[in-house]
Amino acid sequence: MTDDSRSDPKSRLAEIAAIQAKVAQVYQERCSNAVQRYIASVKSANEPWWRTSGAATAPVDLWRDVADYWLDYAQRSILFWDTLRQRGNNWIEHEKAGKPPLLDFDWEMVADARTFARPVNYALVSITPPDGTRTDPEQRPFVIIDPRAGHGPGIGGFKQDSQVGVALKAGHPVYFVIFFPEPVAGQTLADVSRTEAEFLRIVTKRHPKTNKPVIIGNCQGGWAAMLLGAFDPDLPGPIVINGAPMSYWAGNDGENPMRYAGGILGGVWPALLASDLGAGEFDGAYLVENFEYLNPANTYFDKYYNLFAKIDTEPERFLDFERWWGGFFLMDRQEIEWIVKNLFVGNKLAAGEAEWSEGRAFDLRAIKSPIILFASLGDNITPPQQAFNWVSDLYQTTEALKANGQVIVGLMHKSVGHLGIFVSGQVAKREHTQIVDLIEYIEHLPPGLYGMQIEEQRANGSVRYDVVLTERRVEDLQILQKYGRKDEVPFEQVETTSDALAAAYEAFVHPILAPMVTPAAAKIARTLHPQRMQRWMLSDLNPFMWPLKTVSDMTRAGRAPRDNNGLMTTLERSAAAIISASWDLYRDLRDASVENIFFRTYTVPGVGVSEERAASSSIGPIDTRDLAPIKEALSRIEEGTRTAAIVRAALLLTKSGTGRRRLSAMKRARELVGRDVGLLDMPADAARKIIREQSYIVDFEPERALAALPKLLPSPEDRHAALELLKRLEGRMEANDKQLAMLGEIRRLLAESKPVAVGRAGDYRRAEHSVARRRRGNQHTRASS
C-alpha cells in the first residue's frame, strides 16, 4: 500500500470493504465446514446402530438384551455417581492437607523460598528414587519446573512413566520446583526468576563434580525456564521446554481459538477485576475454565461418558487426574498482570520488551544453553506456532542464529494433546526418554537449528529407538503459518486497546472496588466458584450423597456384565457419539463467531499496519562475517590446539555429509575416540566455545579450514595421534563418497611433514571423484560375481 492510497478516503474504504468481505467469506466457509463435519459424524455414529438393528433378532433375545442393558445401566449409574462422590471427598481432603504436590514419588524439602530475603511461594525439593532405582550424584542433575497455570505442581512426575521417572531411570538426580497454594503478598515474576536462579545455584553446589543442571519446563514452566536462562545465562545447562507458549499471537484461523481471548475480553482488565474481587489474589480456577472452554464436548460430556461406559476400569485413572485438575492455586495481582500484559496480550517476550524491572527486559538471545523444543500438532492450547515462532522473531535468518552461538533442537509430535505431552506414559517412554538420552550430546553440536526425529526399530519382538537430527533453516518455520504471520497484525490493536481499558480501570474502578473486598469475602466467593462447587456439592458434605457408599458396595458385589455388542449398547454408543458431535458443532460455530468478531473489531483500525510494520522492520541482508564472534574465529583460522584440530576435522567431515546426525553414531564415536579428543575433560562452556569457533571457520572458509589443519598440529606426535583417531573411526562409521574423499584428503594433509598451501585444499574434489569411481567399480564387481 502506498502513502497516497492510505490518505485517499476512497481507497481506504475500498480496502476496508475488501477486508470485511474476506472475513465474512472465511466465516461462512467455517460454518459450512462445521455443519458438514457434524452431518458426517452423525452418519458415522448411526451406521453401527442401523447395522445392528437391521439384523434379525428373536423377540426373546431382544427382551433379554433390553433387560440386561437396563440392569447394567442402573448399576453403572450408581457406580458413576459414587465415583463423583469420591472425587468430591478427595478434593476436600486435598484442600485440608494444604494441597501438597501430587508427585508419584517421595521427596524431601531442600529450600523453601518463603524464607528468602525476597520471599515467594516456591520451594525446591529433591526426588527420592523408588526402590530398585539408583541415581549417581556425579551425573548431571535435572531440575523440573511445572506450570503455575491454575493447577498445583506435580504433572511432570504424575506417574512412574513420566519426566521424573525417565530421568531417574537414566541415573540422574532429579529436583522439582514446587509452589504453594497462596502467593506471598507483593511477589513478582522477577522475584520468581531470582528464586529459581538461587535454586539452580543450590543444585550446582550439591553436585560440584557434574555439568550444569538440565532444566525441564512444562507449559508455562517452559517460559519460566527461558526467563531463568535469560536472567542468569551462566547458571543453566540444556533447557527443555515442553508445550510452552512463547509466541502468543501465533496460530492459524480455524485451529487456535484461544489466541483471540485477549482481544474478545478487552485485554488485561478482566484479570485485574478478578484479582480485586479476590482481595488482591487471582484465582487459578479462572485459568482452568479457559482450558475447559476450548473443548466443551470433553468438559461437559465425553470425560463423564467415558467414566460411565468404563465404570469397572476407569475410576482410578479418573480420580487421580481429577485430584490434580481440581487443585486450584492462586497468583498475586502483580504476577497475573505481568503475565497477561507482557505475554498473553503484549507478546513481548520474543521481542525483548518484557521488562523484569524498569528499563531492564528479558533478552532470550542472552541464553547460552542449548534448547530443546517439544510441541505437538494435536495441541490446541499451545500450538506449534506458539512453541516455535519466537525463534524466527529473535533470529531473522539461520546465519543470525548461528552467529549468536545458539543450538536449538525442535521435536514435533503428530497428534498428542497438550496434557498428553506431560502425562502420557507412551510419550514419556518414547519422546522424553530420547530427549534425556540426547542431553549428554547436545552440548557438542555446532550452532544451528535442528529437527529431531525418533525412528522406531523393531526386532525379535523388542522395540529400539534412534534419534536423527537434521539441520533446518529458520526461514523454514514460516510453513507453520497459513498467512506468513500477517494475521498477527490485528493483535497489535488488541494491545493498544488493552492498555487503554486497563488505564481506565485502574483510574476509576480499582480505587473503589479493591477496598470493599475483604479476604474473608474473597474466600467465600472462591468457594462458590463453579469449578469448586461441582466438587464439594457431590461429596459427603451433601447428605443426599451418604447412601451411595453402601449402595455402591452392594452394586459391585452383584455386578452383572453386559453384552458389548448388543443392540441397546450399540444404541447408547451411537447416541453418545451424536451428543459429542453436537457439542463439537456448537464449539466450531462458537469459535467461528469469536474469530469473526475479533477480526471485524480489530482489523479495520489496523488497516495498513501490516505494510507499515513490514517496511519498518525489513532489514537488508546482513553480512554475518562482520559480526564480532565470526570475525574473531576467522582471524584464528591457523591457530588452535589438538582438540580444536580434531573438532575441525569432524566438522569438515560432517559438512561433506547429508546434514543428518544420528544419536547412535554420536554414541559410537564417543565410545571410540571421545576421551582422546579432549572435549569430555573440559567444562561444557569451554567445549562449546571450541565447537562454536571451529563451526564458524568451517562454515565460512571450508577450504582454508582444511588447508590450515596441519598448522593446528605442528608436532609429529600430534599429527600421528590425530591420524590414529581417524583410523580408529574409519570403517566403523557410515560415510558417503564425499566424506570418504574428505577423510582421505585430511589424512594426506596430516601425513605431510610441511604445511600445505591453501590451493592444495581443493584436491579433495579429485579424491572424491576417485573414491566414487572405486565404489562404483566395487559394486559392479560384486554384481558380476
> Which carries the bigger pLDDT value, residue 737 or residue 534?
534
* Buried-state track 383-418, b at ≥16 Cβ within 10 A, e below 16: bbbbbbbbbbbbbebbbbbbbbbbbbbbbbbeebbb
Separation CA 283–CA 271 (nearest Å): 10
Do 549 and 598 belong to one domain?
no
The whole-number average pLDDT for the span 503-522 is 97
Tell me the C-alpha distance between 504 and 692, whole Å.
Answer: 51
- Give the pLDDT band of residue 727 (cuts 50, 70, 90): confident
> Among candidates 711, 744, 706, which has minimal Cα distance to 727?
744
Q: Is a pLDDT exceeding 50 seen at residue 611?
A: no
pLDDT tens digits along 50-67: 877 666 567 888 888 899
Say yes or no: 569 and 557 in one domain.
Answer: no
The answer to whether residues 551 and 576 belong to one domain is no
If pLDDT is split at 50, 70 and 90, which confidence band does 622 have?
Answer: low
443 φ, ψ (degrees, to nearest 5): -70, -15
Give the three-state DSSP class for 185.
Answer: coil
Q: Give yes or no: residues 476 and 553 share one domain.
A: no
Q: What angle do CA 246, 251, 252 make, to 5 degrees?
A: 175
pLDDT at 450 (0 to 100): 96
CA distance 147 to 127: 18
Q: The domain that contains 374 carries what CATH number?
A: 3.40.50.1820
Q: How confident is the model over 750-774, as pLDDT tens digits?
A: 887 454 444 444 444 444 445 445 4
Q: What is the per-residue DSSP string for 105-126? A: S-EEEEEEGGGSSS--SEEEEE
Q: For residues 368 and 235, is the Cβ–Cβ distance under 8 A?
A: no
Q: Examine residue 272 and state whether it is found in any structural domain, yes or no.
A: no
Q: Are residues 474 and 615 in the same domain?
A: no
Q: Directed axis angle between helix 609-617 and helix 490-508, to 10°?
A: 100
Is 494 within a domain? no
Claim to verify: residue 540 and residue 410 sit in the same structural domain: no
Considering the domain architecture, whether residues 351 and 451 belong to the same structural domain is answered as yes
Instruction: Quote the pLDDT of residue 562.
Output: 78
Tell whether the model's pLDDT for residue 618 goes beyond 50. no
What is d(CA 681, CA 692) in angstroms, rounded to the nearest whole number? 17
Report the C-alpha gap between 727 and 731 in whole angstroms.
Answer: 8
Give dist(CA 325, CA 655) in Å, integer: 48
What angle is formed at CA 236 by the lines to CA 376 and CA 467, rounded to 5 degrees? Answer: 40
Using CB atoms within 10 A of its CB, is residue 563 exposed (0-12), middle (13-18) or buried (19+)? middle
Are 666 and 763 part of one and the same domain?
yes
Same structural domain, 149 and 206:
yes
Identify the sign of the CA torsion 40, 44, 49, 51: positive
What pLDDT, on a 0 to 100 scale, did the predictor assign at position 55? 66
According to the model, what pLDDT value does residue 359 have? 72
Percent of the chain with pLDDT over 90: 66
- Range in 89-103, 477-491, 567-581 the model is least confident about: 477-491
Q: Which residue, 104, 156, 175, 143, is CA-closest to 419?
A: 156
Last residue of a domain, one of 606, 622, 638: 622
- Average pLDDT of the residues in 727-753: 83
666 HSE (CA, 13 A, CB side): 19
Instruction: Look at strands 371-376 and 239-242 and give their pairing.
Output: parallel
Q: Is residue 58 part of a domain?
A: no
Tell me which range, 420-434, 475-489, 717-731, 758-772, is most confidently predicted by mean pLDDT: 420-434
Please give the DSSP secondary-structure letter assigned to residue 755: -
Helix or strand holding residue 543 (H, E): none
Quick one: which of 288, 291, 321 has its CA closest to 306? 321
Is pLDDT at 617 greater than 70 in this prediction? Answer: no
In a domain, 2, yes or no: no
How high is the pLDDT of residue 690? 94
The whole-number average pLDDT for the span 240-266 is: 89
Give the model's pLDDT for residue 604: 62
Highest mean pLDDT among 367-371, 611-615, 775-779: 367-371
The residues, any chain, with a CB within 8 Å of residue 312's CB and separated by 6 or more, are 79, 559
- Shared domain for 576 and 705, answered yes or no, is no
pLDDT in tens, 310-324: 999 999 999 999 999
Helix, strand, coil distribution of the chain in percent, nearest 5: 60, 10, 30
Band (pLDDT 50/70/90 cuts) for residue 457 is confident
150 torsion bin: left (phi>0), alpha (psi -120 to 50), beta (else): left
Query: Do 153 and 27 have their domain in common?
Result: no
Q: How many domains does the chain have?
A: 4
Q: What domain range includes position 32?
A: 8-47+565-622
Both 646 and 584 in one domain: the answer is: no
340 located within any domain: no
CA angle in degrees (0–180, nearest 5) for 10-15-18: 125
Is this structure's pTM higher than 0.85? Answer: yes
User: Residue 67: inside a domain, yes or no?
Assistant: yes
**Where is the domain boundary, 463, 488, 513?**
488
Q: Give the rounded percent of residues in the chain with a pLDDT score beyond 70.
A: 91
Instruction: Determine contact, residues 222/197, Cβ cutoff 8 Å.
Output: no
**Domain membership flag for residue 37:** yes
- Residues 605 and 602: their CA atoms lie apart, in Å, by 6
Flag whether 213 is in a domain.
yes
* pLDDT computed for residue 758 by the predictor: 41
